[in-house]
Structure 1
């Protein structure tokens, strides 16, 4: 007799299955063309199963992007660059043909809001709020980070991933400290 999989592990597997199906569809057809119906068909799951794990397709996009862009957001939190930053940038570069899928239209707006949320939570760990509300500072930092990465991926100027990582970290950290009024 086989024991059922651990509920938490099964839940993680289902979330991963949904995210994988979603990613395939977004890269094939674009974010705007993807619907929850198409995701559940691609994942071969019931619609109710989707809603047990995600509220909508934007929620899935946030979950997918957080795995990558949380590392970029970590640039503001420490004097040392995040350990996986170069790896993340290399991954993005190797998949740059898919830049439009996440850096245009509604997907870009979701990515921006998600990056802002990630950064805002990190700003609170650095120190007290500076002259700007933390949300406004987080929006500024998120847009600066995303614009730098997007411009690089679109080939507006070339930089090696390790050079971009160093610049992204230095500029993000310095801007965060300046916006908080820290010395």
Structure 2
């Protein structure tokens, strides 16, 4: 099966600045209302599972992860540009498609959780995001080696942890009437 992507989605990561800048900008836009919501009664009455990091960790961790994922997309498209092997090209194209899928899922999580206050939907999004990212990482590791894995494994670990936090939050709060 041959996978095809619109040319713009292949062109963006060719430029290192655009490759890194796209997830940073989208992440900032996606989470722009988070600061306001974490000061609301709704958020402050939620129960969370053990191990939740302090709020100050998130604005440090996420930009680093966005930079790493963006640079991994750059590595992938550069490998695609020089590959003549049809199987490798297909795997790299699929990995780039998954990259954009995980980026969309990533950008959807904050509006679901913080904006719509739909913890269950945010959990489903987080599961899909984590699964997509693991598969993308596996494809890229097989296609370009450890360079992409070194960049994406911290993201995979963080997404696994974030899914635990979201799942725990859903479990601890799903039967409570949520304050709007």
Q: TM-score range by the shorter chain?
A: 0.3 to 0.5
Q: Which has the higher contact order (CA 8 A, sep 6+)?
A: 2
